[in-house]
Every structure is written in structure tokens, then in C-alpha cells.
Amino acid sequence: MEVEVWSDVACPWCYVGKRHLEEALTGFEGADDVQVTWRSFELDPTAPRVRDQDAVTLLAAKYGRSHEEAEAMVQSMRETGAKDGLDLRFDIARSGNTFDAHRLLHLAAAHGIQDAVKERFMRAYQTEGEAIGEPDVLQRLAVDAGLPADEVREVLATERFAEEVRADEAQAVEFGIRGVPFFVVDRRVAVSGAQPPEVLLQLLKQGAEAEAA
């Protein structure tokens, strides 16, 4: 069984969704036979490498909310993340373009360590205040997660895996994906959003039933 997850490393709900999927898999009988593939999705493809604005200001502008309303959104997300053991540090987050991060995640998939690299990138951005759009930061994080330094440098210096990222994003458009995380099981059943673990467990069971039918 393949579980494909469209998500962005700069998306806090995607980090929560990752934890919920991990929990769902612990209760799924066929978990050992599940392959999780992380698909590319950019929340803001036009973003510069690093933005100067803080998270509250960005949220207020994006959703047309007041500063106070955006602060409440941030607090709600922090509380949700904390329930899953995540320390979402919006106060130090340095948002930026994630295209190169997604290209490196395709390299990670080729090496069989995509989940580890995804986790490292998410933790770096969401909790450590790393500028995930900066090549030197990505180089350090990717190597730290286990990728070969020379291949990481090659990816960052070229357009390698750019087509794969765009193919993921084109598939997202075809599926009608407008928000992430978005979970797809064997291209048969799907659910959108950082759903509770029990909902994702049910999705896995539905996928298994569809496969057996």
C-alpha cells in the first residue's frame, strides 16, 4: 500500500498531520507494508528565499485578518501542535521559498530516507528558526539527515528534480488539492487536512479494503 502525502515543510498543519499519520500507522495491522511518499506542494511558489515579516504579520495579510485575530490563529496552532509533542515556534520562524527543499526531498526518496529528511526540514523550520529557503542551510540540514554532501551540492547547483517537483504539483492540481496536508491511499481514497489519527486510520483501512476487493 502506498500513502502519498502532499504537504509543504513550511506548513505547521502538515507537521501535525505527519504526527497523526505516524500514530495512525501504529494502530494499522498492515503498517509494515505501507510505503509513505511525501509529495511536493508549495504554499507560496512566489516567495523569496527568506522573508523579513514575522508569522503573525504574514497570516494577517494572507487571510485578511487583524493582527489580534492572526495572533489567536498562531496561538491555536501552537496549542494543537503541543498536544502532539511539537514546539511550533512561530516567533522565530523564517519563512521563504521551499522549492529547493522539495527537490532535495526527491533526492532523499531516491536514497530511501525521505521521511528522515522531511522530518529534519520540518523541525528545522517549525521549531528551530532555520531559513529553509537558503541553500547553505538546506545543505547542512540535508547532510545532517543522511544525504551525501556531494549530491546535495549538485542538486542545489542545478535544476535536478525540478521536473519531479512540478509533476507533483501538477498532480495536485489534477486532484483538486487546494490545501495541505492531503492524504491519498493507492490513488483510491483520500482525505484533506490534519485529520485526527483515528480518521487517518480509517482511511488506511478503507484503502486496504479497496485493495482487497
Q: Give 119-142 pLDDT, tens digit per residue.
A: 999 999 999 999 999 999 999 999
Backbone angles phi, psi at 94, to 5 degrees: -120, 90
The total number of structural domains in the chain stands at: 1
Q: Give 61-95 pLDDT, tens digit per residue.
A: 988 999 999 999 999 999 999 999 999 999 999 99
Considering Cα of 190, then 55, then 50, then 147, what sign does the dihedral take?
Answer: negative
Of the pLDDT bands very low, low, confident and very high (cuts 50, 70, 90), residue 102 is: very high
Q: Give 28-46 pLDDT, tens digit per residue.
A: 999 999 999 999 999 999 9
Count of C-beta atoms within a 10 Å radius of residue 182: 22
Q: What is the pTM of this model?
A: 0.96
- pLDDT score of 52: 84
3-state secondary structure 97-113: CCHHHHHHHHHHHHCCC
CATH number of the domain bearing residue 145: 3.40.30.10
Q: Domain range for residue 54?
A: 2-212
Up-side HSE of residue 14: CA atoms within 13 Å toward CB? 25
DSSP type of residue 85: T
